[in-house]
Each structure stands twice: as C-alpha cells, then as structure tokens.
C-alpha cells in the first residue's frame, strides 16, 4: 500500500527512484579488546583511516573551491579537516587503544561521546552546533574502519535514480552525490537552514528533511517519490501515482526551460512599471549564476564569507581583488557590497571566541566591525579601491543607532583621506547605504534616511528580531512567520517612507526570492528585489503577470488586517 511521510521541503523538484539506505555506522560498532601484541596494528589501522578520510575531505575541498558548490561548504570541510588534526580527537582515541586496548572504532566512539558531552555544555549556539561536525568526522572514520565507507550504488539501468535515505548527512556527503546519479535525498533530521540543505539547493537535488524515523519505515530498493517542493515522500506509489508525478516533473522541466527565454526580458509589470531584480552573492564564484540570470546588479554581496572558516584574515589586497572581480564583471550595473556581517551564527575562527550569552543580540555585524576598527578600515579601503572600477556601493548591516552609521561614515572618510594621500584611485561619490534588519531601525527611519543614500531590508533578521525567534534554532522554526502583521507593518512602513523621501529601498532577505510574497511586496511599493540568482527568472515571470494598480489597494487592505488566517488567505489570493 502506498503511504506518504511529511517533512520539511528544503530543495525543490521531484525525484522518483529506489531507496538506498545509508547505515548509521556509529550504531554498528563492535566493542572488543585488542591483544597486546596487536596494539601496534590497531594503531596503524586507525592512522590509515585518518589518512583516508583526510584524502576524502581534501578531494571534496577541491570540488567546493572549483565553484560547483557553496563556499560555506568549503569552510565546513576545512573545519572537519581541522578536527581531524586536533589532538583531542585522534590522539585521545589512540591513547584509549594503547592504554585500555579498545579496538579503534570503539575508542573513536568513546572519544566522540566525551567531546559531544563537552560541546553540549557550551553556551555559544554556534560552537554547540559544532558537535554535529565531531559526529560526522567520527562517522566517516568508523565507516572507513568498518570497510564500508558509505559507497553509493552504481548508476541504475532502469532510468530511475537513487534516493539516498539517511539519519543525517553532512554537507560533504551531499557534495559527493553529484557523481553518483543521486536523484534525491531524505533524512530523519535537519532543518531548512542546515548547511546540507543549502548544498542540496545549490546542486539542485530535490530533498526533504526532518522526517523523524523515516529510515525505519523504508527498505533498500523500495520505490519512492520525493516531492522536494511540498516536503512529502510517497512510498511504494502505484503506477497511476508515478505517472502523475512524472507528468508534474516534466511540466516543471518545461517551465524551467521556458523561464530561460525570459533572460533578456525586462521585469515590467502589466501596467508598465519596471522592477529591478538583483542577485545576492557570496563571492566571485557566484558570478556565472548571476550572468545566466542576467541580474540587474548585485543587491547583496555577503563579504563575511571571505573571512569565515579560515585562520587568517584576508588582507586589503585579497579583499580588493575579490571586490574588483565582482565590480568588473558587472559593467554599468550596481554592485552593493555589504561590510562583513560576522558574529551570531557566522563566527570567525579564534577571533570571535568570547563566550556570549546571546550571540544574536551580541557583537555582530556593524557592532563587531566598529569594535575592530583596524580590520574594518582595511575592508573599507579595499572597497573604496574597488569602487574605481565600476558602480560599487557600500552597505552596512544591522544598524540600530544613528551613532553607528556616523562612526562608519567617519571611518569611510578616514579611509578616503588615506587613499588620497597615497594617490590611490576611488569613486569620490561612492554611495553608502544601510540594512534595515532591526525593528528599532524600521521604526526610526528618519535618522538613517538623513545619513544614507539607500536602504535594504534584511527580512531574515527583521523577522528574527521582531518575533524574538533565533533563526538558527530548529526548535522555534515553526514560529518564523514572514506574514506576521507586525513584520508586514515594518516592511511596508520602510518601503513607503523610503519612497516618500525619494530614497531607493530594496529587500534582500529570503522573502524577495519567494514567489509567495512577490505580489505582496509589489503592492507595498517595492521596486528593487535582491535574491539568490537561481530565483530571478521565476520571480520575473510572476512580475510580468502582475498589475500594480490592482495590487496596491488590495495590499493596503491586508496591512489593516491582524488576523493571521485572513492575512494568509488574502496574500494567497493576490497571486495572479
């Protein structure tokens, strides 16, 4: 009998294929004592496994740096390599083999349990989450020791793909899927913002996570359908259901190829208003995707990805090269580069190791930059130097106070004066903007409007801070609601105030790239959207069907509502 299991949709699309269960290697570990004369062999076995895993990770690193996967993933591979080299992990396990004569797998699992317990007691959520990396590294080692390093099956001949089913998958595992004709994946745990989900999206593999005990419900080779758009898997579907999903899948493919035809069409609404569709990027490696979507510019360059996951900081020249590469690739189009937004869930190795009671409310984004003026000045100099090559604009994240932007502007003046003295070129009229991500800023726009040339609404953080929901905490993910009336009022108010003062306003949070909110944002008066480049053409298609004259009064009525169900219904009805 067919049945369905519901989870969280994290990567869109439909996959039909046969289950390949990935065993939970850590549950299969035998415990035994090694004879004293075999201790040396056991240690050699452990060392060999470490070398193999190191090799695997270095291989994965090569894939990530060749631009085929998310740069964040490269950072995580680095982190796992570092853990592998950490004496707390392998050396401690070696000692257990030597002193207690444990077999290598058992020693590793004991040490893992010990470390996980230590991580659990850490207050900093970012560091606490790193226990997952410890488990993943040990799991890799154990798989190698057990002689089944999680090999994926060869390509099937029946035209169907393989659906990987696992308790959890590391981003590194996910990258490995590319070469194995993996059609989709499903896991017991995970959330939409997990790094594994991010990689799945960038590889365009349909995925559903958070399915709890799905591994126990499925058998190897069983036929399943993964609907990554709705977050459902259909187990043992009959012929009719398979046919229906095949049809939906080919419709989706046709839709996607039709979308490419919109590449060179401007995003103009039915009543003639042209909307700017810009891209969010994390570095020059995202430029091919920006080009293929023909974005109207870069609305958000998250420069912190240059800084995180490494032991040294990028110097002025390294930063300058990265910023210049992006600016030069976008001739005559605006490139909005955000000053580094570290802290919270994006910590710097070593530098940001202070234990914070609540990192989301602590020293992050502009607060961190101002606390490290030397490091900030280096970035500002690099940005200004790159501004000589195109339409670069500088954007400051997470503003809440007027003095924050005053201090930033003073530092920019200082950087300019230095460059003038050194006879280095830069754009004298470079535009400075700020992100509206904190309710306090959205409610006191005047002081920012007087000081800045443009605003960009970071809805991801604006929602987090308005609703007091840690966006990286899976336990409260169900409360993260972009349609909460308070959130809508703050977004609409910012857009309207910007328009009144003639200051350009954009939205660069996830809402801008989500089809569910396109009409709503248009109706609020938004004319500048910035999103993952992969979403641009879809959003453009929706804009081409929209009529602003009709939307604006409807959205005004929605903004007066305060009953969530009614708001949701009314927003759904806006979609043409």
Q: Which residue has the tokens 């959207």?
A: 529
Choose the contact partner of 459 out of ligand PEP, Mg ion, none; CB within 5 to 8 A by kind.
Answer: ligand PEP
461 near Mg ion (CB under 5 A) = yes
Give the residue, chosen from 140, 143, 302, 333, that forms a contact with ligand PEP under the rule CB under 6 A. Answer: 302
284 near Mg ion (CB under 5 A) = no
Which among 142, 139, 144 is positioned nearest to 116, based on CA atoms? 139
Give the residue, chosen from 124, 286, 461, 538, that forms a contact with ligand PEP under the rule CB under 6 A. Answer: 461
Separation between Cα atoms, residue 552 and residue 549, nearest integer Å: 6
509 near ligand PEP (CB under 6 A) = yes
339 near ligand PEP (CB under 6 A) = no
Query: In sequence order, which ranges of 152-194 are alpha helices (DSSP H)?
Result: 171-176
519 near Mg ion (CB under 5 A) = no
CA distances from 413 to 182, 407, 419, 422 (A): 52, 10, 10, 14
201 near ligand PEP (CB under 6 A) = no
How many residues of this chain bind ligand PEP (CB under 6 A)?
10
Which among 430, 499, 444, 491 is positioned nearest to 463, based on CA atoms? 491
At its nearest, how many Å lie between Mg ion and the CB of residue 465?
10
**Could you confirm whether 195 is annotated as catalytic?**
yes
In Å, how far from its chain's centre is CA 11?
A: 12
Q: Is the CB of 346 or the CB of 381 nearer to Mg ion?
A: 346
Sheet containing 161-166: give its strands across: 3-6, 232-235, 223-227, 14-21, 161-166, 182-187, 207-209, 8-11
Tokens of 184: 């989709």
Choose the contact partner of 484 out of ligand PEP, Mg ion, none; CB within 5 to 8 A by kind.
Answer: none
Tokens of 341: 């937004």
At its nearest, how many Å lie between ligand PEP and the CB of residue 302?
5
Q: Is the CB of 150 or the CB of 343 nearer to ligand PEP?
A: 343
Which among 159, 169, 243, 139 is positioned nearest to 11, based on CA atoms? 169
At its nearest, how many Å lie between Mg ion and the CB of residue 434?
12
Instruction: Identify the active-site residue in 20, 389, 484, 508.
Output: 508
**Could you confirm whether 508 is annotated as catalytic?**
yes
**179: phi then psi, degrees, rounded to nearest 5:** -90, 5
Q: For residue 190, how many C-alpha atoms fall within 13 Å in the half-sphere facing its CB?
A: 32
Separation between Cα atoms, residue 513 and residue 416, nearest integer Å: 35
At its nearest, how many Å lie between ligand PEP and the CB of residue 107?
40
460 near ligand PEP (CB under 6 A) = yes
Give the residue, chosen from 150, 206, 458, 523, that forms a contact with ligand PEP under the rule CB under 6 A. Answer: 458
Taking CB under 6 A as the criterion, which residues in 520-559 touch ligand PEP?
none
Question: Which residues contribute to the site for ligand PEP (CB under 6 A)?
Answer: 300, 302, 341, 437, 458-461, 508-509
Residues serving a catalytic function are 195, 508
User: What residues line the site for Mg ion (CB under 5 A)?
Assistant: 437, 458, 461
């Amino acid at each position: 009998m067919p049945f369905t299991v519901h989870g969280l949709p994290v990567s869109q699309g439909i996959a039909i294929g046969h289950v390949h269960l990935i065993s939970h290697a850590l549950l299969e570990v035998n415990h035994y004592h090694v004879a004293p004369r075999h201790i040396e062999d056991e240690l050699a076995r452990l060392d060999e496994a470490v070398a193999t895993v190191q090799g695997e990770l270095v291989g994965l690193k090569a894939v990530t740096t060749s631009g085929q996967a998310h740069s964040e993933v490269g950072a995580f591979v680095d982190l796992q390599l570092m853990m592998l080299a950490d004496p707390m992990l392998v050396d401690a396990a070696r000692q257990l083999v030597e002193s207690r004569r444990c077999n290598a797998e058992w020693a590793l699992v004991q040490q893992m349990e010990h470390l996980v317990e230590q991580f659990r007691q850490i207050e900093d959520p970012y560091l606490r989450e790193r226990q997952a990396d410890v488990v993943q590294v040990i799991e890799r080692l154990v798989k190698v020791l057990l002689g089944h390093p999680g090999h994926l099956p060869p390509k099937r001949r029946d035209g169907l793909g393989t659906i990987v089913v696992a308790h959890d998958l590391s981003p590194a595992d996910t990258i490995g899927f590319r070469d194995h004709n993996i059609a989709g994946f499903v896991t017991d745990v995970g959330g939409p913002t997990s790094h594994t989900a991010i990689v799945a999206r960038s590889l365009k593999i349909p995925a559903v996570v958070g399915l709890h005990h799905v591994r126990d419900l499925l058998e190897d080779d069983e036929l399943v359908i993964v609907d990554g758009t709705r977050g459902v898997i259909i187990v043992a579907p009959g012929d009719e259901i398979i046919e229906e999903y095949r049809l939906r899948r080919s419709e989706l493919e046709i839709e996607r190829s039709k979308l490419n035809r919109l590449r060179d069409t401007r995003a103009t609404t039915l009543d003639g208003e042209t909307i700017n569709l810009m891209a969010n990027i994390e570095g020059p490696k995202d430029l091919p995707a920006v080009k293929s979507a023909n974005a109207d510019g870069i609305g958000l360059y998250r420069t912190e990805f240059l800084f995180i996951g490494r032991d040294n900081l990028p110097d002025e020249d390294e930063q300058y090269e990265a910023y210049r590469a992006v600016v030069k690739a976008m001739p005559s189009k605006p490139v909005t580069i955000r000053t580094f937004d570290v802290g919270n869930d994006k910590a710097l190795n070593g530098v940001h190791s202070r234990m914070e009671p609540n990192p989301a409310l602590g020293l992050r984004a502009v607060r961190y930059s101002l606390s490290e003026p030397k490091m900030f000045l280096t970035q500002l100099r690099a940005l200004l130097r790159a501004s000589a090559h195109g339409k670069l604009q500088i954007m400051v994240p997470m503003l809440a106070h007027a003095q924050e932007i005053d201090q930033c502007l003073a530092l920019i003046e200082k950087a300019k004066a230095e460059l003038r003295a050194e006879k280095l070129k830069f754009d004298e009229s470079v535009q400075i903007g700020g992100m509206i991500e904190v309710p306090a800023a959205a409610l006191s726009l005047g002081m920012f409007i007087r000081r800045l040339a443009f605003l960009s609404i970071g809805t991801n953080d604006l929602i987090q801070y308005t609703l007091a929901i840690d966006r990286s905490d899976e336990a409260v993910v169900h409360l993260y609601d972009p349609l909460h009336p308070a959130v809508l009022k703050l977004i609409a108010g910012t857009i309207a105030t910007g328009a009144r003062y003639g200051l350009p306003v954009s939205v660069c949070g996830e809402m801008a790239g989500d089809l569910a909110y396109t009409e709503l944002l248009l109706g609020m008066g938004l004319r500048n959207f910035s999103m993952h480049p992969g979403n641009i053409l879809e959003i453009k298609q929706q804009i081409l069907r929209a009529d602003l004259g009709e939307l604006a009064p409807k959205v005004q009525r929605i903004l007066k509502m305060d009953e969530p169900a009614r708001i949701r219904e009314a927003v759904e009805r806006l979609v043409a």
